[in-house]
Amino acid sequence: MYEMSVEEVKRYKVLQEVKEEIKTEASEIRRLKESRTRRHRDKDIPLWKVESDIASHRNNVRHKHIAYCEFRGKERSQIEMPRIDNKPYERLIKKYKDKWTEEIYGDRPKDLTILLVKQAQLRHMRRTVEQFDSA
């Protein structure tokens, strides 16, 4: 049986929390979309405000999802293929990944942290391949 290190447990917990955040925000988008119709919307909330909230949540979910997938070791081409005029905001993606790295590895030197993240991604990919091969 595979024993998980303390850092792998932290990584697992952080990624589970991120996954839940993405799901929560996605359900908020669905709720807001339903509230666009007059009968579901509060009369004192203008439609432009609802549309603005939807766009804001969509943007956050998109970038958080990209960061989450890359953090787990996926290539960008496996996540999305955006149009030329719709590139993701790289600073926001990096901010999310840095935040999660800090939560998992703490105040370690940046080079060591990058190495540990890469190792964790490789271990995750190997386990995935092993599970696929054994099925």
d(C-alpha 1, C-alpha 105), whole Å: 24
Place of tokens 């850092």: 7
Confidence of residue 75 (pLDDT cuts 50, 70, 90): confident
* Mean of pLDDT values over 52-81: 90
For the chain, what are the domain ranges? Answer: 6-134
Give the pLDDT confidence of 6-18 residue by residue, as tens digits. 777 888 888 899 9
User: Would you say residue 127 has pLDDT above 90?
Assistant: no
Q: What percent of the chain has pLDDT over 70?
A: 79
Confidence of residue 36 (pLDDT cuts 50, 70, 90): confident
Higher pLDDT, 112 or 58: 58
